[in-house]
Amino acid sequence: MQVMDMNIRALNFALSLAQYEYVERRLSYALETSAEHICAVDVWLSELHDTSSARNQRCLVEVTLSDAVQVVIDSVEADLYVAVHRAADRASWEVARCHGRSKVRARAQLQASLYTADTGSQMQHQQSIM
């Protein structure tokens, strides 16, 4: 498994060692299949002080990919562990989707350049025949 640059920060509360290790382990596991395409993972954990709602634990994950694309996932739940779990799942899907898009774009650009090169050589061949 490749080591990703992961920064975990807690805002408005003290993060326990068990919580820190859970966040690190859960995100590492969720993103390990795309690790070679990830430059950095930033995680912000916070408590929202909203008395009208039971959902007040927030996990914001920002994944920076090697092609400078940023994936941002925000999850707000009643339990911090659930918020982290859902954010990790969504980040995994979104990173895979972005990576798939970049592969499709690269393939299309390669095909376009091959087509242009092929048509250019055919035109030169036709001009030399004339």
Query: pLDDT truncated to tens, each residue of the chain (130 aa)?
Result: 445 689 999 998 899 999 999 999 999 999 998 888 899 999 999 988 766 666 689 999 999 988 888 999 999 999 999 999 999 999 999 998 887 655 555 566 667 677 666 655 555 555 555 5
Q: Which residue has the tokens 């250019």?
A: 120
pTM of the complete model beyond 0.75: no
Distance between CA atoms of 130 and 127, rounded to whole angstroms?
5
Closest CA to 46 of 90, 97, 12: 12
Where are any strands of DSSP class E within 31-128?
A: 38-47, 57-65, 70-77
Domains of the chain in start order, with CATH, are 5-98 (3.30.160.100)
pLDDT confidence of residue 80: 94
pLDDT confidence of residue 1: 40
Distance between CA atoms of 17 and 120, rounded to whole angstroms?
62
